[in-house]
Structure 1
């Protein structure tokens, strides 16, 4: 067997969420806990509580809720004594919203998750805009907030989303950029039918 290249990051772990996982994830602290573990790596309940400005008891409780449905797990290689480390069980989660058409609770959870995701994207963009004048010119020149209206069928929109996702995943699967100017970058992909305002 050929040796794996140690500079190549492992393929992202993807989970297709089921109704129980969707219902569990539809909670603001649980989404923040899972997102933090996915982006920043394994952590203790105490360090997560400090980072997310909450208390350790609440953090521990919600980590256990996420663990019950397989979204997070204890990291046995890091635990020492009573200190429990947690890690995300996946890098990417997905679901088809129509899978839950016959489950009102899961359908409501999906609506909440999507609305919360939009809110978090807006918050990230607003934080960037609020501090942009303090950022180096190189970053200000390459940061992008843009949109476009296309006329597509559902099949063509699926093709577009899949093609854009392949590009993002290609960058994700490369070794992380290094150097003094390398930073984590938010990439948001959203595409949905235009709905006219009604007055």
Structure 2
């Protein structure tokens, strides 16, 4: 997983509340177990709307998405996080998130940032202007060139994982020496029984 320290760029000013995982990635895209290419289906129903922001060149490649309350509600599909990552989104700012989706996002290198509704509304204004926004995980702040500075909190364990680029597999591999030492001490299991017993 790519490390996350800070990201600066334009932001998709989505602003909608109750964006569920079926809106983030519709069910007919879930036939794959691979992550690549899911960005093509991300926000497909919104992209069907004339003048949608996801196909607006002004926001192309934006690493930040700003949403309304209850972002990521609905099913627990991890494909939603995969689709956002494939689209290039590294951080989502909203007043609240569905718990399972927030967890999936964190495990896939995407930072969910919870801010007060009025702070989110201010960032939506800035994003609609095309002005850049910085999400800094090290200082746990969201800033703009207009001197806006909003602090956020994140679980310390998940913060450490993001800062060091550690997903669940990376966390396991970090203990590789201890695992190997344990395996060396234990007898090999053959046919359901320990060898030599």
Question: Quick check: TM above 0.5?
Answer: no
| TM-score bin, normalised by smaller chain | under 0.3
> What TM-score do you get using the length of structure 1 for normalisation?
0.27
Query: Where is the strand percentage greater, Structure 1 or Structure 2?
Result: 2
TM-score by length of 2: 0.27
